[in-house]
Structure 1
């Protein structure tokens, strides 16, 4: 437990408070009283706001439950419902036939459909040897 919390717990004892109050001037006690009241008022306001937000949230939930019941649905229906995802509706792309062939740096013959990035081997041949893309047609 932190020291400040121990200190505040000791302030909860009326005898301790009276002993401290006897040693302090009345002006200091009044200043402490005013500051403490300010802190309590702020805390009370925070609690009221939190309670109001919780109440508003509960009212919204009740409103939607009523709407669901009006449509003949329950919360269980929503929880167990299987909602189709967007990925299930996608049409699978057909594989395109190869249009070009080339030899990679390992000497293997590879093919390319003409879609996507140009393979490095074709790009180098076009830049360094002056070949054209048509030279790689199948």
Structure 2
């Protein structure tokens, strides 16, 4: 359980709160409450500012759409497809690796230079002190 979950658990019931603060003086408890109220107000102000910013942005988008519609244009006419967003692709190079197992068999394995390895291959690398790229015999098979 992380610290946030622990705090939420403690503060989720009056009984737990009472037991948590049973030895705390009233002045200290009031000071804690003032700080929590200040933080709450900061969060509320920040949230409202973010909401206002988002509303302004949505209104601007709607105005632009109406302008385009009035002119008979679409985003594709501007060279931008509405649904096209750049797709993030990982370019992971794959290789064919060759290694020798403990029993003496030569094995070829196809994979990348990152991620988990077959146990035999990891044992081979540990024994020989080689790196993965030292065992490459073919690229992008």
- TM-score normalized by the length of structure 1: 0.51
Question: Which residue pairs with 1:36 in the alignment?
Answer: 36
Deviations 1:53-86 (A, max 9, x none): 10010010001001101101233444567xxxxx
How far, CA to CA, are the matches of 2:38 and 2:8 in structure 1?
17
CA 1:78–1:37 in structure 2 vs 1: closer, same or farther (change >3 Å)? Answer: same
User: How does 1:10-89 map onto structure 2 within 5 Å?
Assistant: 10-78=10-78
How far, CA to CA, are the matches of 2:77 and 2:14 in structure 1?
57
CA 1:20–1:62 in structure 2 vs 1: closer, same or farther (change >3 Å)? Answer: same
CA 1:20–1:80 in structure 2 vs 1: closer, same or farther (change >3 Å)? Answer: closer
How far, CA to CA, are the matches of 2:44 and 2:65 in structure 1?
31
Question: Which residue pairs with 1:3 in the alignment?
Answer: 3
- CA RMSD in angstroms, aligned pairs only: 2.0
> What SS is found at the alignment partner of 2:22?
helix
Question: Which runs of 5 or more residues in structure 1 are unaligned?
Answer: 82-138
CA 1:75–1:24 in structure 2 vs 1: closer, same or farther (change >3 Å)? Answer: same
Stretches (4+) displaced over 6 A = none
How far, CA to CA, are the matches of 1:79 and 1:16 in structure 2?
60
CA 1:79–1:26 in structure 2 vs 1: closer, same or farther (change >3 Å)? Answer: same
Q: Which has the higher strand share?
A: 2
Deviations 1:20-71 (A, max 9, x none): 2322110000000000000010011111011011001001000100110110
- Paired positions, count: 81
Q: Which has the higher contact order (CA 8 A, sep 6+)?
A: 2
